[in-house]
Structure 1
Amino acid sequence: MSIWATLLIIAIVLGVVWSNIALLKHSAKMDMKNFNQDPIEKARRSLEEKQRAEEDKKD
């Protein structure tokens, strides 16, 4: 294998490793409370708010 092919493979591997580390650093700074919300509970709250708004309009 030629030296250029070897250098290219090494550069690609280093690029993948670096990008994965950068992704981990970025995801560590994310706020996790948005991911812990139950979608069913969120939909129920949204429905209740809509029903209250409709009741207020009727009054």
Structure 2
Amino acid sequence: MLLKKLLAVSFVVVLAGGLSACAPEVGSEAWCKQMKEKPSGDWSTNEAADYTKHCVFN
């Protein structure tokens, strides 16, 4: 029972880590393209500032 819980938790941690690794690096060309396709109303304040810094004035 304990082993099953440990395996389940390990699987979730590995899965979450794998999914987060798929996000492009902030400021990269892929990130700028992804942000351009995302509705600007859904951007956070940090995303808007990073987009301006890396994609507009770069």
Bin for the TM-score computed over the shorter chain: 0.3 to 0.5
TM-score of the superposition, structure 2-length normalised?
0.43
TM-score of the superposition, structure 1-length normalised?
0.43
Q: Which has the higher contact order (CA 8 A, sep 6+)?
A: 2
Task: Determine which structure has the larger helix proportion and give its number.
Answer: 1
